[in-house]
Structure 1
Amino acid sequence: MKNLKKLSYIKILTFIIISTFNTELCAQSTNTALPGTNLSKFDFFYAGEAKVQDMYIVKNGSVVWEHKGPKDKGEISDAVLMSNGNVLFAHQRGITLISADQKVLWSYDTPEGCETHTAQPIGKKYVVFLQNGDPAKVFVVNVKNGKTVKSFDVAVENPKNVHGHFRHARLTPRGTYLISHMEMGKVVEYDTDGNVLFSMDAPGIWSAEPLENDNILLCGSDRWIREVDREGNVIWDIRLNDYPEYNLTSPQVAVRRANGNTIINNWFNQWSGEVDKNNPPYQAIEVTPDKKVVWALKSWEAPDLGPSTIIQVLNEKGISEKVRFGEFK
């Protein structure tokens, strides 16, 4: 009888040990599947649409630079960290170029009734930007003297729907301008005279990033990201609905890394309420060409990076200012 009791105790103890081991194994597996809160995988520049204009540089897992702008003075929809440490950003009510020590080097105030959500440096002398409005316009400005050296109108569906016209535009390796017509659900390529060179349907489009292979990386509001060629053939795609554990609801910009992976930024709408700190969404994920998640960002506390629109990996090729727009370079 004593031997039977002893055997029962041994079985119970063995069961507890195995259960504990399996629980820890599951936790490790979950942590592997959902990396999260990892600020140290690579150094990066970060910005996003929020009520307060915040931008960050993260190095070795810590915030080493922050720009905090005014509250409710226009959301940051686009930002570029330049090779000399300057930052160019579009904030709905203007375009601003600041130095690393946050001195304003150049600025543009958006006219009443218009909005500016995207801008890109061309070398260190010019800036190209797109202005929502009636009419909507593209500008190239010499930031050394503040003079507009080129401008042209672009078509929109409803001239009065100013806020809905555009969010994103990028210069291509061809020296042309690729505009995401959010309202029209199209991606259109223009030369410096405003001539349409290429157009494709892209319902729900938010951003279109031209790639070195001449393909285009599309990111849209219905939670898809696609690489397409200029004939519209899908070369690679990913649906965020296939990754429910990351709670990715509002992708804005997807960028292709030098290693071939894709970083997808996930925006949170602060105007619709506060982030649930008990179950916050991930701000970004990095996926491999075979669609495996190898990095994820969830940093809403210490530090709170806020909503994610732009993540620019530092020390990688393809700095955004090393581009041209026709004769401007």
Structure 2
Amino acid sequence: MKTTTYFSILLLLIGAFAQAQSTPKEYQLPGKGLKQHDFVYVGEWDMRKPKAQSMFVVRDGKVVWQYSIPMRTATGGIQEFDDATMLPNGNIVYACMSGAGIVTPEKNLIWQYICAPGTETHSCQPIGKDSVLMVLNGTVGKVLIFNTATNTLLKEIVIPTASTSSHGQFRHVRWTQNKTIMVGLFAEKKVVEFDLDGKALWSVEAPSAWSAIRLHNGNTLISGDGLGYTREVNPKGETVWEFTRADAPFTIGNTQTANRLANGNTVICNWIAGNNKTEEWAGTVQVFEVTKDKKVVWALSSWENPDLGPATYIQLLDEPDNAENGELQR
């Protein structure tokens, strides 16, 4: 009797464990997969592919353009795509840790910034015709504004932070329509809005903030990276909306960036490469779209045919705002 009881309990435990382990694989992905949106897609640190860190353009459910660089520069520096924005003319502004650039649809590099030793960049955003805003991590963290047509440095803004680590200061820095800049400070565990003289205008507590964007409604949307949250706060710093790991029907790794769409939905990049066991990446969700009431209406998992790799940033090409002027909520 006891043997039968123990055996029954053991079977129940094994079944429960198997069900828990298989749930992510069995999750029915909502939406139309690659056909849900046209988009530009990049992801950092795809350690499976040391010779080809890639950015992709997907239209009508197919990869129509791909641009690749090796993970290491000739001098040993790391290259990984952290940011990418397609302009109306088809050119793409990007950051790749060891530098930034603009590449044409014909894959010609028409502007390039190469980081000096001891510095790195993780964001480069167009903010007007021939103008880009990029972050420069280093002993002294900075934001740089360039005229890319003349390769002229227009503005250098020192960002006060306690961190002197080139990798531990900031990630995405974003322009606002009020001509201020939003910066997530890792060391200070907060998001700060600075003017173009480096003066702090507004701040909110936000640990592990990888990215922060000022929305059209005046609120700020924050991506919490390793803490796995996406949080909207109002000007008073109060949380008015949040999506966390507990809200997701699938595994959330690092939430690095988010887009707020014109319809009010939020698209979140779920970077999974913090898990060094690359064999566990397949089947995980890379990007997903949620409504205001936290319903997941699109979840993308594309690890083969095509293998898009880890997700750091996505630009949806069906959004109405002008990417060249920094109007997109991303």
Does TM, scored on the shorter chain, surpass 0.5? Answer: yes
Q: Distance in 1 between matches of 2:275 and 2:288?
A: 23
Hey, what does 2:111 align to over in structure 1? 106
Per-residue Cα deviation, 1:212-238 (whole angstroms, up to 9, x for no partner): 011011110211111111111111111
2:43 to 44, 48, 51: 48
Q: Distance in 2 between matches of 1:62 and 1:147?
A: 37
1:84 corresponds to 2:89? yes
Specify every segment of 5 or more residues in structure 1 that has no aligned partner in the other structure, as ranges: 1-29, 325-329
Per-residue Cα deviation, 1:252-294 (whole angstroms, up to 9, x for no partner): 10110111110110112278231426x5311011001111010
Q: SS where residue 117 of structure 1 aligns?
A: coil
Q: SS where residue 235 of structure 2 aligns?
A: coil
Per-residue Cα deviation, 1:158-215 (whole angstroms, up to 9, x for no partner): 21x2101111111112111111112321111111222211122111211112100110
Query: Which residue identity is paired with 1:97?
Result: I
1:213 corresponds to 2:217? yes
1:292 corresponds to 2:295? yes
Q: What is the TM-score normalised by the length of structure 1?
A: 0.84
Per-residue Cα deviation, 1:96-116 (whole angstroms, up to 9, x for no partner): 111111100100011110111
Instruction: Give the CA deviation at 1:152.
Output: 2.0
Q: SS where residue 172 of structure 2 aligns?
A: strand
Q: Distance in 2 between matches of 1:99 and 1:85?
A: 7
Q: SS where residue 294 of structure 2 aligns?
A: coil
Deviant stretches of 4+, over 3 Å = none
Query: Which residue identity is paired with 1:50?
Result: W
| Kept in 1: contact 2:173–2:184 (CA 8 A) | yes
Hey, what does 1:318 align to over in structure 2? 321
Q: Distance in 1 between matches of 2:290 and 2:194?
A: 31
| Kept in 2: contact 1:152–1:194 (CA 8 A) | yes
Instruction: Give the CA deviation at 1:117.
Output: 0.6
1:204 corresponds to 2:208? yes
Hey, what does 1:12 align to over in structure 2? none
Q: SS where residue 246 of structure 2 aligns?
A: helix
Q: Distance in 1 between matches of 2:232 and 2:163?
A: 28
Q: Distance in 1 between matches of 2:253 and 2:188?
A: 21
| Kept in 2: contact 1:127–1:140 (CA 8 A) | yes
Specify every segment of 5 or more residues in structure 2 that has no aligned partner in the other structure, as ranges: 1-25, 47-51, 73-77
| Kept in 2: contact 1:177–1:191 (CA 8 A) | yes
Hey, what does 1:11 align to over in structure 2? none
Hey, what does 1:234 align to over in structure 2? 239
Q: Distance in 1 between matches of 2:99 and 2:287?
A: 26
Instruction: Give the CA deviation at 1:315.
Output: 2.7
Instruction: Give the CA deviation at 1:36.
Output: 7.1
Q: Distance in 2 between matches of 1:320 and 1:102?
A: 20
Q: SS where residue 272 of structure 1 aligns?
A: coil
| Kept in 1: contact 2:247–2:294 (CA 8 A) | no
Query: Which residue identity is paired with 1:170?
Result: R
Query: Which residue identity is paired with 1:46?
Result: Y
Q: SS where residue 67 of structure 1 aligns?
A: strand
Radius of gyration: which is bigger? 1
| Kept in 1: contact 2:125–2:326 (CA 8 A) | no
Task: Report the CA distance shift for 1:275/1:123 in structure 2 as closer, same or farther (over 3 A).
Answer: farther
Hey, what does 1:58 align to over in structure 2? 58
Question: What fraction of aligned residue pairs are identical, expressed as a percent?
Answer: 39
1:163 to 145, 149, 167: 167
| Kept in 1: contact 2:29–2:300 (CA 8 A) | no
Query: Which residue identity is paired with 1:67?
Result: Y
| Kept in 1: contact 2:31–2:297 (CA 8 A) | no
The RMSD of aligned alpha carbons is 1.9
Hey, what does 1:304 align to over in structure 2? 307
Query: Which residue identity is paired with 1:316?
Result: E
Instruction: Give the number of aligned pairs.
Output: 292
Instruction: Give the CA deviation at 1:300.
Output: 0.3
Q: Distance in 1 between matches of 2:271 and 2:326?
A: 27
Q: Distance in 2 between matches of 1:289 and 1:271?
A: 29
Q: Distance in 2 between matches of 1:252 and 1:269?
A: 11
1:256 to 248, 260, 264: 260
Per-residue Cα deviation, 1:139-171 (whole angstroms, up to 9, x for no partner): 111111111111121112221x21011111111
| Kept in 2: contact 1:223–1:241 (CA 8 A) | no
Hey, what does 2:6 align to over in structure 1? none
| Kept in 2: contact 1:185–1:205 (CA 8 A) | yes
| Kept in 2: contact 1:219–1:252 (CA 8 A) | yes
1:265 to 254, 262, 269: 269
